[in-house]
Amino acid sequence: MKTEIGIIFAGFFLILGAIFFIFNIHNFGITGFAVDSSASMTSEKVNESIIITEEIARHAISESEQVVQEMQENNFSVIYMQDSLTEAKKIFEQARHAEILRNINSTEKEKQEARVALSLVKWQEITYSDVLFYTDDIRNRKTVAFFLFDKINVEESKLTEASNETKTIFEQAKIAFSEERYNDAEELLVVFDLALEKEKSELSALAGIKEGAKNFFQRYWIYIIIFLIVSSVTGYLAYKRFEKKLLVNKIRKMKTEEKVLNGLMKKTQTERFKENKISGLVYNIRIKKYQERLQEIKEELPVLEERLEKIGKHLKGN
């Protein structure tokens, strides 16, 4: 009997312990996880700053120089890349001097030279990771440039099949590419392909009618002419609608980008002048990039909107 009572009491306390554990698990596991997660994130940030060393940054600059040289040898425009490379080298030197000031083993002469070099810079926030902002951009632009270069060469072989109007679209794509406006070049190549396919389909239909249905044409020529007129008008309107859709999407993207850039500029200004989270150097770099892109948008957006308005009127008239 005593054994049975003991078992009952043991089971009772076991159930109470389980209930207590279930209702208080959030006070253990979740908090502990959050601490571990936070510690892990902090560790990752520290590791990131340790990983980007002088050697890695120097190697990234060296690779970027090779990229620029390769682009020049292939007759690509490299104005944008050269500007980015110049900025990368400048940031590298500033980061190198900043590391000298952080290193307790640096000589007083080295520190004095570093202070002079960084006299107008808030060096505490400068690291070698800032160099990769520019070198990564150079590498990415190389990939895009060669992709478009190959595509242009492929499309150029089709020019013998294209009309003068379609050839003009292709020439515009080449001009955009030579001026490093890669987004515009890619979009114009898409329009060129669509226009060329439309022309090829029309020519194919006409050739088939001419060779295989001469008698049929003689008998039903009036109906065939009507069909071709309707087909041409429909194709033209479809092309215009597609062009309109491209413009609408591009305008929407540019307006969204404009809002985002304005927001980023405000955030950067807050971080610099109110919260003092970033240095003047980082602030100037970011603001410069944002302002350059905003200026491009302000120049391109009215042109695109005017084109869209003309296409809209044309479609309404039809």
- Report the distance separating Cα 233 and Cα 228, nearest Å: 8
Answer yes or no: are the C-beta atoms of 220 and 284 closer than 8 Å.
no
Residue 208's pLDDT is what? 63
| Cα separation, 284 vs 280, whole angstroms | 6
- Model pTM score: 0.45
Q: Nearest Cα to 158, choosing from 149, 167, 169, 150? A: 167
Enter the tokens of residue 38: 């936070």
- Please tell me the distance from the alpha carbon of residue 44 to that of residue 34, in angstroms, as a whole number: 15
Measured CA distances, 279 to 42, 119, 236, 237 (Å)? 21, 13, 55, 54
Q: What is the CA radius of gyration of the chain?
A: 33
Q: What is the pLDDT of residues 72-93, one digit of tens each?
A: 998 898 999 999 999 999 989 8
Query: Could you tell me which of 200, 195, 143, 139 has the C-alpha nearest to residue 172?
Result: 195
Compute the distance between CA of residue 308 and CA of residue 318 in angstroms, rounded to an integer: 16
Tell me how far apart the alpha carbons of residues 12 and 17 are, in angstroms, rounded to a whole number.
Answer: 9
Whole-angstrom distance, CA of residue 17 vs CA of residue 9:
12
In this prediction, residue 31 carries a pLDDT of 34
Locate the domains of the chain by residue range: 1-51, 56-317
Q: Are 305 and 251 in contact (CB under 8 A)?
A: yes
φ/ψ of residue 213, rounded to 5: -140, 45
What is the pLDDT, as a whole number, of residue 280? 87
Tokens of residue 161, six digits: 């099949």
Tell me how many helices (H) and strands (E) the chain has. Answer: 10, 0
Report d(CA 91, CA 52) in Å as an integer. 13
Q: What is the pLDDT of residue 194?
A: 92
What's residue 49's pLDDT?
43
Q: Measuring CA to CA, how many Å separate 112 from each of 40, 122, 257, 301?
A: 37, 15, 44, 50
Say what the pLDDT of residue 318 is.
Answer: 61
Question: Which residues of the chain fall below pLDDT 70?
Answer: 1-50, 205-214, 317-318
Q: Which of 300, 316, 298, 175 is nearest to 237 (CA)?
A: 316
Three-class SS of residue 190? helix
Among 233, 169, 158, 228, which Cα is nearest to 197's?
158
